């Protein structure tokens, strides 16, 4: 496929319609971590699920692998203004992970090994909008990028895509996570440039 796009340049100098305002395209895969990389073996890994009534369950790696696995290609947008186009992943849709929960929760607080958290509406995790991913470009996901498994929510800024994910806590209220507490936007839509609280 060959597309020649002249465009107007836009705020980020990008004329590609896949690039949100204020973003530039990178061909690297930068690493952005607020702390050291935790190294977690798949036989120790678990995804803890907490429902609004405080009932808990957990998914082992073997149970995750038994869920329907999808391969998909998406664009990534980081709030620090880089966009990476056409990244291919394998993972389990979050809707398949939350399947067994009978919840009317509106919000989720996602937890990671190492203590990182991020919040988002439950509906942004469902209907093919978010995955627990464990392969990037045909290879096991590297620890620096969140391996063995991370959340991937490509329609929101990448800070919502918690690396080393180990829990999804369903809630009635929208409890701010790590970056949201430090002033990042509670929702983070890259097309609306929701970078910081108040944007």
The span of 7-15, 36-44, 51-59, 78-86 binding Mo ion (CB under 5 A) equals: 78-86
Spatial distance between the Cα atoms of 167 and 94, rounded to a whole number of angstroms: 12
130 to 149, contacts with ligand MTE by CB under 6 A?
A: 145-146
SS (H, E, C) 134-182: EEECCEECCHHHCCCCEEECCCCCHHHCCCCEEEEEEECCCCCCHHHHC
Q: Within 10 A of 87 (CB to CB), how many other CB atoms are there? A: 16
Single residue of 49, 51, 159, 167 touching ligand MTE by CB under 6 A: 159
Contact pattern from residue 26 through residue 55 relative to ligand MTE, giving x for each residue in contact according to CB under 6 A and a dash for the rest:
---xxxxxx---------------------
69 to 88, contacts with ligand MTE by CB under 6 A?
A: 78
Helix (H) or strand (E) holding 64: helix 61-65
By the criterion CB under 6 A, which residues form the site for ligand MTE? 29-34, 78, 112, 114, 116, 145-146, 158-159, 161-164
């Amino acid at each position: 496929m060959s597309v020649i796009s002249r465009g107007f340049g836009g705020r980020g100098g990008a004329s590609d319609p896949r690039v949100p305002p204020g973003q530039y395209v990178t061909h690297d895969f930068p690493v952005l971590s607020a702390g050291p990389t935790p190294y977690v073996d798949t036989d120790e890994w678990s995804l803890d699920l907490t429902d609004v009534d405080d009932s808990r369950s957990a998914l082992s790696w073997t149970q995750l692998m038994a869920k329907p696995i999808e391969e998909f290609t998406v664009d990534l947008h980081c709030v620090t203004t880089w966009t990476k186009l056409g990244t291919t992943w394998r993972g389990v849709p979050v809707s398949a992970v939350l399947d067994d929960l009978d919840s009317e929760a509106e919000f989720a607080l996602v937890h990671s090994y190492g203590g990182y958290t991020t919040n988002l509406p439950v509906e942004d995790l469902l209907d093919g909008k978010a995955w627990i991913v464990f392969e990037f470009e045909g290879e096991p996901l590297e620890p620096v990028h969140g391996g063995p498994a991370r959340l991937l929510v490509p329609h929101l800024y990448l800070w919502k895509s918690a690396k080393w994910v180990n829990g999804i806590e369903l809630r009635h209220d929208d409890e701010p996570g790590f970056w949201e507490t430090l002033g990042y936007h509670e929702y983070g839509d890259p097309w609306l440039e929701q970078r910081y609280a108040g944007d």
